[in-house]
Amino acid sequence: MPELPEVETVLRAIQKSEIIGSPISRIEINKSYHIKEITQQEFINKLLGETIHKIERKGKQLIFILDKWALLSHLRMSGKYFFDEIPSRFLAENRAIGVIFHFINGRKLIFCDTRGFGVFYLQSLDNYKNLSPYKDIGPDLINDEIDVDKLFIHCQKIRIPIKMLLLDQKFVAGIGNIYTSEILFVAKIHPLIIVKDLDKEQIKKIIEISQSILKRAVELKGTSIVDFLTPDGEKGTYQNELKVYFRDKKPCYDCQTTITKVSVNGRGTFYCTNCQKI
């Protein structure tokens, strides 16, 4: 968390804000560990005077497109952006401010991260797609064309549970723990089934359902079941449509069987033992 729908929601909010087109006048770095591969002073020196022209996204990665640089931002577990100031009702976020970008027009973009895992990479605009982390990201489930035939051939060699593969951002990009449980429930596929045992139609079904669920979640500005907030301090509402995630010990909406929670590679996984038989 945040996953593709939440990151896309952040992108859309920033893209339509007044920071687009206004040069960066000052940068405050409170938590230097968010800056990767260069020093915080290099980070500041390279970005001062630069203008954010637009924002792109690849999977869960935000890419700020500036004059000479691409600033890649991964929110990881709890990263958030706010405009100008953090709403007073989110006092915990004030203690987690990592970076503040100031703009000539007086606006601010505040990055905060209570768990501290969020990262920034500042890379050359003409080469960032050839570097990590961008080059290691698989096809984006909303923005890219997905080659199901190619994915199926790849899947025939994989001997791990499908839940684990869907979390691998090199396979397809954008899905995290929440949406994986939801996708597999709608597809009626057990999260522990071994990938190589799935046929081509099942792989196709997983991809199509993934795209459908992610697009719907984007429409609802993401899922705020834990702590996701938009840059305007608003919550998403897709949590109102969750079928299995966080619903362990509650009845399945389709068959009334009690929803089960198990751990798959250390990640909480929710499913219906009746609807999703292995």
Catalytic residue numbers, as ranges: 2-3, 60, 267
Give the separation between CA 116 and CA 31, rounded to whole angstroms.
8
d(CA 163, CA 189): 10
Whether 5 and 223 have beta carbons less than 8 Å apart is answered as yes
Half-sphere exposure of residue 267: CA atoms within 13 angstroms, side-chain side: 23
Q: Distance between CA atoms of 93 and 81, rounded to whole angstroms?
A: 10
| Measured distance CA(185)–CA(129) in Å, rounded | 34
